[in-house]
Structure 1
């Protein structure tokens, strides 16, 4: 398993092939992933612990443990941790699972 550090926290791959990925994502308080989309894959997010918000195509849902979100191809999405503890989520990807399949729409860290 490999751990990848990001400005918002980190992710850890548990399983990775060209068409399926299973990973743990940890988002620290006050941080968020980019508002982004993927053209060639779908994602399912399952919230394990922590609370925050999930933004999908402009709509915002509260995210709390035992909730899951289905993010379809070409859907803009962002997990926001506005809580006081880490958000821990499992993400499963299906389709063309490359970290290069990423289009950032907004990014608080100045990444493109």
Structure 2
């Protein structure tokens, strides 16, 4: 398993092929992933612990443990940790699963 550190926390791959990925994502308090789009894959997020918000195509949902989100191809999405503890989520990706399939719309860390 490989751990990849990001400005918002980290992710850890459990399983990765060209068309399926299973990973754990940890987002620290006050941080968020980019508001982003994937053109070649869809994702399922399952919240294990922590609380925050999931933004999908401009709509915002409260995110809490045992909740899941389906993010379709070409849907803009962002997980926001506005809570006081880490958000831990499991993410499954289906389709063409490349980390290069990412178009950032907004990013609080100045990444393009």
Shorter-chain TM range is: over 0.9
Cα offsets for 1:7-62 (capped at 9, x unmatched): 00000000000000000000000000000000000000000000000000000000
The residue correspondences of 1:25-44 to structure 2 (distance < 5 A) are 25-44=25-44
Deviation at 1:68, TM superposition (A): 0.1
Provide the C-alpha distance between the structure 1 equivalents of 2:100 and 2:34, rounded to a whole number of angstroms. Answer: 14
Structure 2 match to 1:4: 4
Deviation at 1:83, TM superposition (A): 0.1
Deviation at 1:63, TM superposition (A): 0.1
The secondary structure found in structure 1 opposite 2:10 is strand
Deviation at 1:86, TM superposition (A): 0.0
Question: Cα RMSD over matched residues?
Answer: 0.1
Provide the C-alpha distance between the structure 2 equivalents of 1:16 and 1:37, rounded to a whole number of angstroms. Answer: 20
Deviation at 1:2, TM superposition (A): 0.1
Structure 1 match to 2:94: 94
Provide the C-alpha distance between the structure 2 equivalents of 1:20 and 1:63, rounded to a whole number of angstroms. Answer: 24
The secondary structure found in structure 2 opposite 1:53 is strand
The alignment's TM-score, normalised by the length of structure 2, stands at 1.00
Provide the C-alpha distance between the structure 2 equivalents of 1:41 and 1:54, rounded to a whole number of angstroms. Answer: 18
